[in-house]
Structure 1
Amino acid sequence: MNHDVIIVGGGPVGLCLARALSGRGLRIALVEQQPLDVIAAPAFDGREIALTQPSVRLMRELGLWERIDADARSPMRAAKIFNGLSTHALEIGSDSREHAELGWLVANQVIRQAAFDALQANIATHGDVTVIAGEAVSAVDTGAEAARVTLDNGTVLTGALVVAADSRFSATRRMMGIAADLHDFGKTMLVCRMTHELPHREAAWEWFGYGQTLALLPMNAHAPSGAHQSSVVLTLPAHEISALAALDAEAFGANLERRFARRLGAMQLVSTRHLYPLVSVYADRFAATRFAAIGDAAVGMHPVTAHGFNFGLASVETLCECLTTALREGGDIGALNVLRRYESRHRRATRPLFLATRLITEIYTNGTLPARLARNVMLRAASHLAPFRKAVAASLTG
């Protein structure tokens, strides 16, 4: 089966790349090991994605944004950073004259659904994307003339370019012999939705506690009850979080109330709970012979700066621009110079914040007394530095 581009991974980034390339005169194959009904109707997985303004712009261009109901898009107008038991917070607001909000929060499965629906609409118009669902990749072989992808069922796909979009633990990247800087923080995240008595005022919280990290992502009101609602992210050692996840809903709500020091009043669980290991990844290379890595297969971020999916969309946009330029100039989209141009641009866009995020997490999760005191001093000083607050706001908005 001959194609121009073979995308491995049908998550939101892979779907967005297929949608972005559709209509450009390319034959595209999208391979996903999950069955088609799971891709077409993804289930709630607890994750709420913080979208920057550039990400929203790209989603509009790809036809995703208008497919997301307004009540499923929650504005984030401010961010607060707490340290320990102090009630003082570093507060960041939007510094943009164009946008009143720092960004938007949308559930992961809602984005996936919108991306799949937008792709299906393009397939109906252009007929240039073949979705191969329920099949895993067993081998990848790239050479000077072509790339070959072998599926578990024995089918061989050939093309000019293979793109890995199959998670931060990318098997495709490993098949290409590309190593990655993988950092396991030894912690697990629990994510869920909760209602609470007091309003969040559309502000996100990042709370570096002693022995735990709490995040609060402000959501629109809980539809059935009208109560204030947020997505809660709690990070703890794996053995502690497993016990917490096993509590019944009432005991879990009481436990989270205590962890939030009742700053939100009474809290109640209103969704399923989901656990994710806390691991960051940065691939040694984003490009090789007739191969490119995008999304988490290239850069898997620690969630503290909320840039994971935003970097994924940025990789889609950058790779598309490089491939489009090659097509316009009559070149080979799988040529190494084309792919290295993508790699260089995406590395410049992601490496500084990736390293800064690692540094932030190391400083703000250090439980020693000197580190705790230093963090309080740093946050209070930063509160009085307008350029610093503007820089943080610019980072959050993208």
Structure 2
Amino acid sequence: MEHDLLIVGAGPAGLSLARALRGSGLRTTLIEQSPLESLQKPAFDGREIALTQHSAEQLRQLGLWPRLGDENIAPLKDALVLDGGFGRAQSRMRIGHDLSPKSELGFLVANHHIRRAAFEAAMGDGEGPAPQLRCGQQVTGIQTDAQSARLTLASGETLSARLIVAADSRHSSTRRAMGIAADMHDYGRTMLVCNMTHERPHEETAWEWFDHGQTLALLPMNPDPVSGRPRSSVVLTLPHQAIQPLLGLDEAAFGLEMTRRFGGQLGDMRLVSTRHAYPLVGVWARRFVAQRFAVVGDAAVGMHPVTAHGFNLGLRSIDTLSKALIQAHQSGQDIASPQLLERYQLVHQRAARGLYMATHAVATLYTREHVPARWLRRGMVELGERFTPFKRAVAASLTGLR
């Protein structure tokens, strides 16, 4: 066979897996339906990724970290959870970096910078030959048997390999083509994301504000390179029909509206980027493997962003699978044996299940507006602020150093 491994999807997950396998001797090919230029120069998409300390170390090992650029890496020192309207009725819980062994809980990097760095690390100069890359190619069919796995492309070409890995998003068509069902939860909400500057400093603190009727998040970024003002990635979550009018406001009106929604706590807020909207859907694949087939990243587990663990969990899946593949290849064993794939599935399910269920529970509780739910979440925030062991556990989760 010409290929040992076919990876469907050249996003951050697929590229990171390809990079992890460089120098292993495995012949890897990436299949991506987007054009090459969109991989080389990814466009800003509004999303800011919160990286744990553990994920930052993984990116260093993969060679992505120095390619991000210091100016694009913002420290995340503390986290602040807010509940209720602004004023005396608001409850607060602060998770400080002093509860962890590091000087910051993690880091914030824009998604398009991670995509660019992943492409450069996977395809640029480095240990071993770069993987093959097939851009502008759509997968139309997939078949596997005991001997091989085969992909059919829209061009009619068929590629065969020992293993196929799906890394093509939480709505993976490759996973579906293999007959793997997924449990999907539509939260009935859409998040609007953009970059904004503001008068008052963010003090390198992330906010998660569960206000009445809306959820607001503030992710601290480095100062705006043009004005020098404090800058943050702002995330507003509302029912879909309430998001659409906000996308149509001019910049000045949008700034005033966001200043109002944040209760003026950051002073005057101004839009400094394009605006993007994403429906919130959680996904859990019922299986992570099949015959000569595996899923990684969002194709395995698509997280609600409220706990900021989506990409971090995806990196764990890549680390687990790549190490298993390299070990099997070096030992002369089949990289797609049922035993290897089953071990990968068990390890990643164990790592992901608790986080997924806890994130789903938090997201569900904090989007309910009836009075008992409001009382419960207010009580949880107030109790958490007083209970240091709980905050220490949250800090450990945010750093990824447990």
- TM exceeding 0.5: yes
CA distance in structure 1 between the partners assigned to 2:193 and 2:360 by the alignment: 21
1:181 corresponds to: 183
CA distance in structure 1 between the partners assigned to 2:379 and 2:128 by the alignment: 58
Residue 321 of structure 1: SS of its match in structure 2?
A: helix
1:89 corresponds to: 92
Deviation at residue 325 of structure 1 after TM alignment: 2.1
Equivalent position to 2:111, from 108, 112, 120: 108
Deviations 1:60-110 (A, max 9, x none): 011110111111000000001111114431000125664210000000000
**Any conservation in 2 of the 1:27–1:128 contact (CA below 8 Å)?**
no
**Mapping of 1:1-398 within 5 angstroms?**
2-85=2-85, 86-95=89-98, 98-122=101-125, 126-398=128-400
Change (3 A) 1:97 1:253: closer
**Any conservation in 2 of the 1:167–1:297 contact (CA below 8 Å)?**
yes
CA distance in structure 1 between the partners assigned to 2:232 and 2:12 by the alignment: 23
Deviation at residue 127 of structure 1 after TM alignment: 2.5
| Counterpart residue type for residue 6 of structure 2 | I
Deviations 1:330-382 (A, max 9, x none): 21001111011111000000100100111111111211122212222221111
CA distance in structure 1 between the partners assigned to 2:257 and 2:352 by the alignment: 37
Deviations 1:248-273 (A, max 9, x none): 11111111111101111100000000
| Counterpart residue type for residue 283 of structure 2 | V
**Any conservation in 1 of the 2:82–2:92 contact (CA below 8 Å)?**
yes
CA distance in structure 1 between the partners assigned to 2:361 and 2:100 by the alignment: 31
In the alignment, structure 1 segments of 5+ residues that lack a partner are none
CA distance in structure 1 between the partners assigned to 2:339 and 2:266 by the alignment: 53
**Any conservation in 1 of the 2:5–2:27 contact (CA below 8 Å)?**
yes
Structure 2 length-normalised TM: 0.97
| CA RMSD between the two structures | 1.1
| Counterpart residue type for residue 92 of structure 2 | A
Residue 150 of structure 1: SS of its match in structure 2?
A: strand
Structure 1 length-normalised TM: 0.98
Change (3 A) 1:128 1:220: closer
**Any conservation in 1 of the 2:124–2:130 contact (CA below 8 Å)?**
no
